[in-house]
């Protein structure tokens, strides 16, 4: 911001400057006011090792969620009842006596190790992540689940962003009575604990992706709107906004041309916080029995299914748990990096 | 100031009523009725509905419910524990959940503050790794996974700690659930404390103090500790509510007779009154915590007070 | 601020240590001599007259004793009753109580306690969901009117002839009355005690329970996670066992229960689902028949395709029950080809009513070719080339439903099964109303020792609205006629006819009979599960090592 004020102090305005802004001009001003620092932010962001790691993790997860379900050659929903509960078996490792399809059962009569591949006479078959109790390939299921969970999280976060940002900007920008009323409404909705909103909604609606997104949406936009509003209040009084206003720019120009680019950084950080929260909440819903319907597959259903047999077949839980942890770690690192870069 | 507080309190009360109304209406759309039993005939179900007044219109039931609420009566459970007053059910369970929640909160906060401050002061490589690993685990690993892990290792394999809660021996039996829950608190508080402490350490007044030649320990206690801890208090409220949520699965795992297990049971058997009572309790608690924090913050920070009166 | 927090934490830590050291060992010692049981859910009620679910039944049977009871071999034997006799017309049953039977406070159990209990069960004020036991399982005189509030409670056909003699009047003969009366819902109720604590408060805490059974609850609250009971010295069979008490813990997570069994915390744990793999082959693992049937309800009335007998039978014959039981469900299920499961109902000569099931194989036995043939015949009769039906099930059964879908669609050309998972609540609603499904995977447990417990489901007026056949209704009516009851072998013959009719019409697709697998630690004696899934407590004991 300093840069702008200095520039303004040496700049001698000419008559040209007092012509109402055109659409071309709009990009110019915003680029000048924040564009430079934005470039710096990107540089600063990528200078942090942890942030880069975060970006790589997230990128890999997204790529795997797209191609993962097709890599193993088994469909995620195909059941083969006679191949149920197979432990992970990986081509190269199995030669070394590691991940070779044997598992240790803590039976009541003592720990016993066995290899179901050999018992079933299918020693030439490989399931990298093993199979579940219905003989479905865990590898495909995990990445399919990742895909569904990411879709739920991203869609709900984007909707939240859209609603929250508009709400916050309108409330903060126009102020006055509108602001008071809108804030009261947000206060009331925001005072209902997420747990309660989500639980009640999921009870009332049919279980499914749409209702989970809606439930996540209803509880998530408040925070977005608060951040947007706070940012608007901050930015609103800045010199460049007042300058734009003096130049006769309309509300929409100021909101979309001047304010929006300035709060987008904060919003991206908030997105990176919201996405893992949504993944977490989705998983939690599955645990309480309010998540995705049975038969479908998301990280939440995989986790809660795996959890039910973690003692017997821990490999049915571990991959999906790791995927969820990776989502959270990745977004966390990126969010942290963004915060630091913005400082 | 007084006006500001009064307004806050009024809004909170209003909010609670709005929530109650919304919940009441929502519950009308729940599929099924609490009297779902293969072996009940339709006439018997109708009789049960009459007995509990469920045949009345929604709005009458709502006002009746609110009126009873003022008398401290939240109705009775229909199905999970026939005819037991909800207040009794909650009164028995709430302390257990609170106890575990508060102990986890205290331990987690303490550990988090220590972790945050240590990593802010000693910026060695080792410390940084410890800090990052602990906070990442706390944030990324859900408490139920942690609990399962603890339960398997310490309870099952090593047979050191009991795996189930026992009302006659609450202390030893709640070590594992508390440990699982407090990890998340530790991570969040740790991060927050570190950020605050770093801010304070880089601030002008600490620099000034250093220039004045004050001892390191004095600076640490008088300036850094104090100023970085006040904001931590504001985190505690949200964390407490978060803990109550997180404890839902934990309570089920360790068979803890808390409100979390009550809620899951009530949901699965359509016991409207219990769900309503609990949602009301959660909301009420959440709002109260927020109100108390607002007030505390208002006393602690004059800027909020002034800003508050203006808006 | 900081300092305060520090001291607080130190104090807390110290408190934890101290109590851990002092409290723990005493409780552990006590637990060793007692029987420790893990059950899956908290009992919904401890009031015997309100019991309608398995868990409540299990818990109440620990502190109640009924007129008749099951022995270790699941035979119906006298409990509080010494003997009973039927009147000439089979409509009046007179029970003579034993001498010296007492409540846990030492007062005598009299016939009036039974009258009070039965009237309480029938009272519309009680609104007990178990009232069907006296209005449809057996029909006590005026019970239907009393339970609807159309007649005063005093009109109920039960009376105390004297302190020792209790009489029940029925509207229809009921040859299985004694086995019905083993249910805790028919346990005596002490009038003075109930009026003292308030009838609605009865059994809402350990203090408000008066025991007539083996144990006295001394730790209980509604929806408890833990229940503790001590020995009742006044129990009529108190001398049969030295067990000082039982300690019951509610553990909803079956893995957690299993880990606790392995570490020695529990003596008795139910094993279900995937944890079975861990217990497989263990000498401590016992299977108890629960006398319940899993079956597919067919909505013969509303679905145009399912109205056709050949289509129904094709669907029944296409299901390979054995592979489902072995590969999908793994434990606790045996293939079943009729509605009444084996192991409980007997012929007059003592052989099993179900037998080996071979007589039903013609209608329900697995045969893909025959099924396809019937299917084609059915399609021709309806005049269509494809059939679309919805298979509705509680979402916990999804593995089973998906497997059934696969088997049917593979062998029956033109068969399209649409899966429709529903929540437990919706399932129960559909199951009791008979609406909203084509095919429904359902379960039913016996209430008493007679095949009609299952067959009555298919009566036209049963309110379940799925099947009606006048011939079938007529057979079941005939089975309750007095002269049939008094002619040995005649009644079962009629019941067999009814069941054969049901199966030959393929009015239902039976799937499995259900067993309960329980891990019972070595040293525990006298433990068995009754046909109604309660625990048999008479000789329950534990060897302390």
CB contacts under 8 A, B 79-118 vs C, are 79-84, 88-89, 92, 103, 106-107, 109-110, 113
Report domain A48-75+134-342's class. Answer: mainly alpha
SS3 at position C422? strand
**Picking from B131-135, B224-228, C38-42, which range would have the lowest pLDDT averaged per residue?**
B224-228
**Residue whose pair of structure tokens reads 């009530």 in the numeric block:** B266
Q: Are C257 and C251 in contact (CB under 8 A)?
A: yes
Facing residues of C285 across strands?
A: C519
Q: What is the pLDDT of residue A87?
A: 81
Between chain A and chain B, how many beta carbons pairs sit less than 8 Å apart? 92
Domain segments of chain C as ranges: 48-238+521-542, 290-515
Distance between CA atoms of B72 and C134, rounded to whole angstroms?
Answer: 38
Distance between CA atoms of C19 and C27, rounded to whole angstroms?
Answer: 12
The most confident of the ranges B10-14, B66-70, B81-85, C420-424 is B10-14
At C3, the pLDDT band (50, 70, 90 cuts) reads very low
Q: What is the pLDDT of residue C188?
A: 92
Q: What is the mean pLDDT of residues C151-160?
A: 89
∠ CA A142-A143-A145, rounded to 5°: 65
Q: Is the pLDDT of residue A33 over 50?
A: no
For chain C, the maximum distance between any two Cα atoms, rounded to a whole number of angstroms, is 88
Q: Is the pLDDT of residue A313 over 90?
A: no
pTM of the model: 0.78
Q: Is the pLDDT of residue C396 over 80?
A: no
Of B30, B275, B286, the CB nearest to A191: B286
Note whether A203 contacts B30, CB cutoff 8 Å: yes
Which residue in B140, B240, B272, B285 has the most chain A C-beta atoms within 10 A of its own C-beta, making it the best mutation to test that interface?
Answer: B140
Between chain B and chain C, how many beta carbons pairs sit less than 8 Å apart? 164
Q: What is the pLDDT of residue B153?
A: 85
Note whether C12 contacts B106, CB cutoff 8 Å: yes
Of C24, C221, C251, the CB nearest to B92: C221
**Picking from A131-135, A154-158, C246-250, which range would have the lowest pLDDT averaged per residue?**
A131-135
Is residue A110 less than 8 Å (CB to CB) from chain C? Answer: no
Is residue C73 less than 8 Å (CB to CB) from chain B? Answer: no
Chain-centroid distance of CA A234 in Å reads 27
Q: What is the pLDDT of residue A35?
A: 45
Distance between CA atoms of B133 and B120, rounded to whole angstroms?
Answer: 15
Q: Is the pLDDT of residue A341 over 90?
A: no
The most confident of the ranges B117-126, C192-201, C309-318 is C309-318
Nearest chain A residue to C399 by CA: give it.
A134
Alpha-helical runs (H) found in C434-506: 452-455, 470-479, 482-486, 490-504
Return the closest-CA partner of residue C113 out of C9, C206, C187. C187
Is residue B204 less than 8 Å (CB to CB) from chain C? Answer: no
H or E stretch including A187?
A: helix A176-190
C165-169 and C158-162 beta bridge pairing? antiparallel
Question: Which residues does chain B have within 8 Å of residue A287's beta carbon, measured at their own beta carbons?
Answer: 144, 248-249
Find chains touching chain C: ≥3 CB pairs under 8 Å.
A, B
Return the closest-CA partner of residue C404 out of C327, C476, C308. C327
Would you say the C-alpha torsion A151, A154, A158, A161 has a positive or negative sign?
positive
At A135, the pLDDT band (50, 70, 90 cuts) reads confident
Instruction: Give the other-Cβ count within 10 Å of C491's Cβ.
Output: 22
Tokens representing C30? 């006590």
Distance between CA atoms of B76 and C339, rounded to whole angstroms?
Answer: 38
Q: What is the pLDDT of residue C186?
A: 92
DSSP letter (8 states) at residue B222: I
Q: What is the pLDDT of residue C114?
A: 92
Note whether A324 contacts B142, CB cutoff 8 Å: yes
Annotation: CATH topology of B86-268: MetI-like fold (1.10.3720)
Return the closest-CA partner of residue A233 out of C426, C66, B310, C40. B310
Q: What is the pLDDT of residue B82?
A: 65
Q: pLDDT > 90: what percent of chain A?
A: 4
Question: Which residues does chain B have within 8 Å of residue C19's beta carbon, measured at their own beta carbons?
Answer: 169-172
Q: What is the mean pLDDT of residues B46-57?
A: 68
Distance between CA atoms of A177 and A183, rounded to whole angstroms?
Answer: 10
Mean per-residue pLDDT over chain C, rounded: 83
Q: What is the pLDDT of residue B205?
A: 78
**CA distance readout (Å), B32 to A20, B60, B117, C298, C415:** 63, 21, 53, 21, 31
**Picking from A195-209, C7-21, C145-159, C432-446, which range would have the lowest pLDDT averaged per residue?**
C7-21
Mind listing the pLDDT tens digit for each residue in A211-265?
888 888 877 788 888 888 887 887 777 777 777 777 777 777 777 777 777 777 7
CA dihedral (A71, A77, A83, A87) in degrees, to 10, reads: 60
Tokens representing A321? 């748990």
Of C44, C131, C425, the CB nearest to B36: C425
Q: Is the pLDDT of residue C314 over 70?
A: yes
Of C5, C222, C432, the CB nearest to B81: C222
Distance between CA atoms of C293 and C274, rounded to whole angstroms?
Answer: 21
Q: What is the pLDDT of residue A84?
A: 76
Q: What is the mean pLDDT of residues C202-216?
A: 88
Q: What is the pLDDT of residue B310?
A: 36
Note whether A134 contacts C399, CB cutoff 8 Å: yes
Q: What is the pLDDT of residue A60?
A: 92
Note whether C258 contacts A310, CB cutoff 8 Å: no
Facing residues of C393 across strands?
A: C421
Mean per-residue pLDDT over chain A, rounded: 78
Q: What is the pLDDT of residue A56?
A: 92
Is residue B144 less than 8 Å (CB to CB) from chain A? Answer: yes
Is residue C426 less than 8 Å (CB to CB) from chain B? Answer: yes
**Residue whose pair of structure tokens reads 């990009």 in the numeric block:** A27
Tokens representing A103? 């598992």
Tokens representing A58? 């997230």
Q: What is the mean pLDDT of residues C515-524?
A: 86
Q: What is the pLDDT of residue B31?
A: 56
Tokens representing A132? 């579940």
Better-scored residue on pLDDT, C381 or C332: C381
Q: Are C106 and C159 in contact (CB under 8 A)?
A: no
For chain B, the maximum distance between any two Cα atoms, rounded to a whole number of angstroms, is 86
**CA distance readout (Å), C542 to C71, C242, C268:** 18, 8, 11
At C217, the pLDDT band (50, 70, 90 cuts) reads very high
At C2, the pLDDT band (50, 70, 90 cuts) reads very low
Question: Which residues does chain A have within 8 Å of residue B275's beta carbon, measured at their own beta carbons?
Answer: 199-200, 203
Is residue A295 less than 8 Å (CB to CB) from chain C? Answer: yes
At C95, the pLDDT band (50, 70, 90 cuts) reads very high
Nearest chain C residue to B151 by CA: give it.
C256
At C5, the pLDDT band (50, 70, 90 cuts) reads very low
Is residue A311 less than 8 Å (CB to CB) from chain B? Answer: yes
Where in chain B are all domains bearing CATH 1.10.3720.10? 86-268
Q: What is the pLDDT of residue B311?
A: 35
∠ CA C220-C225-C226, rounded to 5°: 50
Distance between CA atoms of B188 and A105, rounded to whole angstroms?
Answer: 37
Q: What is the pLDDT of residue A16?
A: 61
What is the nearest CA distance from A210 to chain B, expressed in angstroms?
Answer: 17
Tokens representing B219? 């600076």
For A247, list phi and psi in degrees, rounded to 5. Answer: -75, 0
Domain segments of chain A as ranges: 48-75+134-342, 87-120
CB contacts under 8 A, A 58-117 vs B, are 106
Conformation bin of residue C63: beta by default, left when phi > 0, alpha when psi is -120 to 50 = alpha
Is residue A178 less than 8 Å (CB to CB) from chain B? Answer: no
Which residue in A119, A311, A313, A317 has the most chain C C-beta atoms within 10 A of its own C-beta, making it the best mutation to test that interface?
Answer: A311
For C299, list phi and psi in degrees, rounded to 5. Answer: -85, 80
Of A191, A290, A311, the CB nearest to B15: A191
Distance between CA atoms of C72 and C536, rounded to whole angstroms?
Answer: 7
Write down the CATH superfamily of domain C48-238+521-542: Dipeptide-binding Protein; Domain 1 (3.90.76.10)
Q: What is the mean pLDDT of residues A195-218?
A: 78
Note whether C255 contacts A293, CB cutoff 8 Å: no
Give me the count of residues in chain A.
343
Distance between CA atoms of C342 and B55, rounded to whole angstroms?
Answer: 43
Is residue B293 less than 8 Å (CB to CB) from chain A? Answer: no
Question: Which residues does chain C have within 8 Å of residue A85's beta carbon, measured at their own beta carbons?
Answer: 277
Q: What is the pLDDT of residue B160?
A: 81
**Residue whose pair of structure tokens reads 């049917």 in the numeric block:** C408
Q: What is the pLDDT of residue C465?
A: 58
Distance between CA atoms of C403 and B212, rounded to whole angstroms?
Answer: 79
**Picking from A257-271, C91-105, C164-178, C434-448, which range would have the lowest pLDDT averaged per residue?**
A257-271
Mind listing the pLDDT tens digit for each residue in C121-141?
988 888 787 888 888 788 888
3-state helix, strand and coil shares in percent for chain A, rounded to the nearest 5: 75, 5, 25
Distance between CA atoms of A56 and A70, rounded to whole angstroms?
Answer: 21
Q: What is the pLDDT of residue A7?
A: 41
The most confident of the ranges A2-16, A283-297, C169-183 is C169-183
DSSP letter (8 states) at residue A259: I
Return the closest-CA partner of residue C261 out of C275, C274, C273, C243. C275
Question: Which residues does chain A have within 8 Å of residue B27's beta carbon, measured at their own beta carbons?
Answer: 200, 203-204
SS3 at position A21? coil
- In order, the DSSP letters of C66-119 are -SEEE-TTS-EEESSEEEEEE-TTS-EEEEEEPTT-B-TTSPBP-HHHHHHHHH
SS3 at position C191? helix
Is residue C226 less than 8 Å (CB to CB) from chain B? Answer: yes
∠ CA C391-C396-C401, rounded to 5°: 30
3-state helix, strand and coil shares in percent for chain B, rounded to the nearest 5: 80, 0, 20
Report domain C290-515's class. Answer: alpha beta
Chain-centroid distance of CA C179 in Å reads 13
Q: Is the pLDDT of residue A18 over 70?
A: no
SS3 at position C149? coil
Q: What is the mean pLDDT of residues C330-334?
A: 79
∠ CA C320-C323-C326, rounded to 5°: 145
**Picking from B173-187, B282-296, C280-294, which range would have the lowest pLDDT averaged per residue?**
B282-296
Tokens representing B162? 């009991």
Note whether A284 contacts B245, CB cutoff 8 Å: yes
Mean per-residue pLDDT over chain B, rounded: 77
Distance between CA atoms of C472 and C477, rounded to whole angstroms?
Answer: 9
Is residue C251 less than 8 Å (CB to CB) from chain A? Answer: no
Nearest chain C residue to A83 by CA: give it.
C327
C245-250 and C35-39 beta bridge pairing? parallel
Q: Are B144 and B253 in contact (CB under 8 A)?
A: yes
- The CA-to-CA distance between both ends of chain B, in Å, stands at 12
Question: Which residues does chain C have within 8 Å of residue B92's beta carbon, measured at their own beta carbons?
Answer: 221-222
Q: Is the pLDDT of residue B62 over 80?
A: no
Q: What is the mean pLDDT of residues B148-168?
A: 83
Q: Is the pLDDT of residue C96 over 90?
A: yes
Distance between CA atoms of C414 and C412, rounded to whole angstroms?
Answer: 6
């Amino acid at each position: 911001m300093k840069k702008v004020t200095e520039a303004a102090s040496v700049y001698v305005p000419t008559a040209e400057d007092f012509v109402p802004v055109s659409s071309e001009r709009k990009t110019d001003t915003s680029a000048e006011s924040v564009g430079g620092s934005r470039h710096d932010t990107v540089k600063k962001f990528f200078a942090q090792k942890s942030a880069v790691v975060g970006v790589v993790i997230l990128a890999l997860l997204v790529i795997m969620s797209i191609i993962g379900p097709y890599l193993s050659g088994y469909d995620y929903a195909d059941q083969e009842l006679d191949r149920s509960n197979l432990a992970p078996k990986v081509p190269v490792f199995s030669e070394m006596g590691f991940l070779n399809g044997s598992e240790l059962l803590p039976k009541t009569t003592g720990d016993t190790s066995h290899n179901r591949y050999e018992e079933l006479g299918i020693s030439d078959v490989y399931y990298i992540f093993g199979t579940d109790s219905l003989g479905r390939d865990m590898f495909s299921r995990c990445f399919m689940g990742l895909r569904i969970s990411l879709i739920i999280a991203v869609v709900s976060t984007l909707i939240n962003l859209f609603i929250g940002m508009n709400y916050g900007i309108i409330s903060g920008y126009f102020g006055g009575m509108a602001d008071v009323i809108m804030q009261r409404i947000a206060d009331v909705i925001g005072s209902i604990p997420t747990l309660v909103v989500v639980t009640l909604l999921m009870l009332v609606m049919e279980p499914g992706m749409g209702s989970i997104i809606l439930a996540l949406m209803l509880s998530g936009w408040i925070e977005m709107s608060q951040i947007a509003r706070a940012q608007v209040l901050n930015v609103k009084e800045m010199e460049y906004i007042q300058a734009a206003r003096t130049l006769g720019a309309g509300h929409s120009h100021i909101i979309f041309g001047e304010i929006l680019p300035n709060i987008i950084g904060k919003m991206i950080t908030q997105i990176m916080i919201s996405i893992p929260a949504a993944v977490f909440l989705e998983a939690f819903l599955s645990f309480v029995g309010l998540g995705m319907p049975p038969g479908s597959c998301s990280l939440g259903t995989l986790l809660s299914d795996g959890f039910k047999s973690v003692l017997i077949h821990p490999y049915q839980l571990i991959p999906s748990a790791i995927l969820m942890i990776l989502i959270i770690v990745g977004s966390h690192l990126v969010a942290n990096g963004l915060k630091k870069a913005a400082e | 100031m007084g006006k500001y507080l009064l307004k806050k309190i009024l809004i909170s009360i209003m909010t609670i009523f709005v929530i109650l109304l919304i919940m009441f209406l929502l519950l009308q759309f729940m599929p099924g009725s609490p009297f779902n039993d293969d072996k009940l005939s339709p006439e018997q179900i109708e009789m049960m509905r009459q007995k509990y007044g469920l045949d009345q219109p929604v709005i009458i039931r709502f006002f009746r419910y609110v009126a009873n609420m003022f008398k401290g009566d939240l109705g009775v459970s229909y199905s999970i524990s026939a005819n037991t007053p909800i207040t009794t059910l909650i009164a028995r369970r709430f302390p257990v959940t609170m106890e575990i929640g508060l102990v986890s909160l205290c331990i987690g906060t303490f550990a988090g503050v220590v972790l945050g401050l240590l990593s802010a002061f000693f910026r060695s490589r080792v410390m940084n790794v410890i800090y990052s690993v602990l906070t990442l685990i706390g944030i990324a690993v859900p408490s139920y996974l942690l609990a399962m892990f603890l339960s398997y290792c310490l309870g099952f394999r090593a047979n050191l700690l009991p795996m189930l809660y026992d009302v006659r021996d609450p202390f030893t039996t709640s070590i594992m659930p508390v440990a699982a829950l407090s990890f998340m608190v530790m991570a969040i508080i740790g991060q927050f404390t570190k950020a605050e402490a770093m801010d304070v350490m880089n601030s002008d007044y600490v620099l000034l103090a250093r220039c004045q030649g004050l001892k390191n320990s004095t600076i640490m206690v008088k300036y850094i500790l104090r100023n970085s801890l006040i904001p931590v208090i504001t985190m505690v409220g949200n964390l407490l509510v978060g803990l109550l949520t997180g404890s839902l699965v934990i309570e089920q795992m360790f068979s803890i007779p808390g409100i979390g297990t009550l809620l899951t049971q009530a949901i699965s058997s359509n016991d409207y009154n219990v769900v309503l009572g609990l949602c009301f309790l959660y909301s009420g608690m959440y709002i109260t915590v927020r109100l108390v924090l607002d007030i505390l913050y208002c006393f602690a920070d004059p800027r909020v007070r002034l800003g508050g009166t203006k808006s | 601020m900081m300092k305060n927090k520090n001291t607080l934490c130190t104090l807390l830590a110290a408190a934890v240590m101290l109590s851990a050291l002092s409290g723990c060992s005493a409780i552990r010692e006590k637990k060793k001599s007692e029987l420790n049981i893990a059950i899956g859910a908290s009992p919904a009620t401890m009031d015997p007259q309100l019991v309608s679910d398995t868990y409540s039944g299990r818990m109440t049977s620990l502190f109640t004793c009924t007129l008749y009871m099951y022995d270790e071999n699941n035979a119906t034997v006298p409990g509080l009753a010494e003997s009973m006799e039927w009147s000439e017309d089979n409509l009046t049953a007179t029970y003579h109580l034993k001498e010296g039977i007492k409540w846990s406070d030492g007062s005598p159990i009299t016939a009036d306690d039974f009258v009070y209990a039965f009237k309480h069960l029938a009272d519309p004020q009680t609104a007990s969901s178990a009232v069907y036991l006296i209005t449809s399982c057996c029909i006590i005189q005026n019970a239907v009117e009393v339970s609807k509030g159309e007649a005063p409670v005093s009109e109920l056909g039960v009376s105390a002839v004297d302190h020792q003699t209790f009489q029940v009047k029925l509207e229809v003969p009921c040859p299985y009355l004694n086995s019905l009366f083993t249910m805790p819902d028919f346990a005596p109720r002490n009038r003075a005690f109930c009026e003292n604590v308030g009838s609605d408060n009865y059994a809402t805490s350990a203090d408000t329970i008066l025991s007539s059974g083996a144990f006295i609850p001394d730790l209980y609250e509604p929806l408890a996670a833990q229940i503790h009971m001590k020995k009742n010295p006044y129990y009529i069979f108190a001398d049969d066992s030295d067990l000082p008490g039982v300690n019951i813990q509610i553990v909803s997570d079956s893995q957690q229960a299993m880990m606790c069994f392995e570490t020695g915390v529990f003596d008795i744990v139910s094993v279900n689902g995937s944890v079975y793999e861990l217990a497989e082959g263990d000498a401590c693992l016992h299977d108890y028949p629960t006398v319940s049937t899993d079956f597919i309800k067919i909505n013969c009335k509303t679905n145009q395709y399912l109205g056709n007998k050949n289509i129904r039978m094709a669907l029944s014959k296409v299901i390979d029950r054995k592979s489902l039981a072995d590969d999908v469900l793994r434990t606790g299920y045996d293939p079943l080809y009729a509605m009444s499961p084996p192991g409980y109902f007997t012929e007059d000569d003592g052989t099993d009513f179900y037998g080996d099931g071979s007589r039903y194989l013609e209608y329900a036995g697995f045969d893909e070719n025959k099924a396809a043939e019937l299917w084609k015949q059915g399609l021709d009769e309806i005049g269509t080339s494809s059939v679309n039906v919805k298979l509705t099930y509680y979402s916990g059964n999804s593995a089973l439903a998906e497997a059934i879908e696969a088997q049917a669609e593979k062998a029956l050309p033109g068969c399209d099964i649409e899966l429709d998972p529903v929540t437990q609540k919706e399932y129960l609603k559909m199951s009791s109303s008979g609406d909203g499904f084509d095919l429904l995977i359902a379960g039913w447990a016996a209430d008493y020792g007679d095949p009609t417990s299952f067959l009555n489901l298919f009566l036209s007026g049963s309110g379940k609205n799925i099947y009606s056949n006048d011939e079938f209704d007529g057979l079941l009516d005939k089975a309750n006629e007095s002269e049939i009851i008094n002619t040995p072998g005649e009644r079962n013959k009629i019941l067999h006819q009814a069941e054969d009719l049901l199966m030959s019409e393929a009015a239902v697709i039976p799937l499995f009979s259900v067993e309960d697998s329980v891990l019972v630690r070595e040293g525990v004696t006298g433990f068995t599960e009754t046909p109604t899934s309660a625990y048999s407590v008479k000789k329950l004991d534990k060897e302390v090592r």
